[in-house]
Amino acid sequence: MNRKVAIVTDTISSLPEEMAAEYGITVIPIHIIMDGKDYLDTEISKDLFYSWFENNKDKTSHPRTAAPNIGEFLNVFRNLSEKYQNILCINVTSKMGGGYRAALQAKDIMHEEMPGVNVEILDSCTEHGAQLLIALAAARAAASGKSLPEVVAIAKQMIEKVTLLYLLDTMYHLTVGGRTGKADIWESSLLSLKPLLEIDYHTGGTFAPLGRFRTRSQGIEEMLNIFKERVADQPVHVVITQGNVPDDAEYLKNRIQDRFQCPEIYLTEPSLVAEVHQGPKALRLGFYYDNTSNNLR
């Protein structure tokens, strides 16, 4: 069946290149400004990035990030319009950057330039593995030949279903970037504690605090406890995204696979933009389970 809808998302979705290619998802990069230089997060060397953090332990400076601008969204939409009459763009939570607003403005310009092309913009209210699962569901619906309204409806349902849990090594990076959200109650507390956070539709697209731990192992166990409470015995779709902590990610994956029925489970690496704001040792667990009626909190 012919695809009627093009799917677009950004690199905060942590969507691997091979998966984007397989499902025909266009991924827009985000900018990292480091030492006065502007890099696309798809082009910057990971070795360069992590060595910068290693060499700046004094924390006298910090990288910045910038969302794709209106022109970058427009270029993507114009290119896709050569093949598709319908485009759905799924953005990282609007509470964590200007990408969603820039995409909306690009949509308005597209409507003036090409009124025959339909562009829809969605705020995922989340990021990383949860955003990936939303984009994946939309792409699968598009691949099956569904119309734009049908694909949008499926994506919106998924936005309300997915959950994203975070275990960070410190609150420092969120605090510096002003992205603590509802976890701002912890800003002045001991930065050495490992925060466990959530960000999704149910938290309003901003970070909500779940707990703090002295060790990573304690935080991972609590992450698994929360996962178990919410999933129960339902089949669960999982994306684990790790920032330079592959052993923790593999451990989490094995624990979940041993206990739960997983129609799909993926290990991915985050955009380096995420490492700027959350630190290079973050562990993220995105998931949803199949029984929709029990997935509301």
Residue 106 has pLDDT above 60, yes or no: yes
Residue 116 has pLDDT above 80, yes or no: yes
What is the reported pLDDT for 50? 74
What is the reported pLDDT for 56? 66
CA of 10: how far to CAs of 40, 112, 257, 273, 289, in Å?
A: 12, 24, 28, 11, 24
Question: Tell me, which fold does domain 5-31+66-160 have in CATH?
Answer: Rossmann fold (3.40.50)
Choose among 96, 122, 129, 125: nearest CA to 16: 129
**Helix residue spans in the chain (DSSP H):** 17-23, 46-55, 70-81, 99-113, 128-143, 148-161, 172-177, 216-231, 246-259, 272-278
What is the reported pLDDT for 52? 73
Residue 119 CB coordination number (10 Å)? 25
Q: pLDDT of 176-202, one tens digit each?
A: 544 444 444 444 444 568 889 999 999
Domain extent listing, the chain = 5-31+66-160, 161-294
Domain at 161-294: CATH code: 3.30.1180.10
Residue 173 has pLDDT above 60, yes or no: no
What is the reported pLDDT for 53? 67
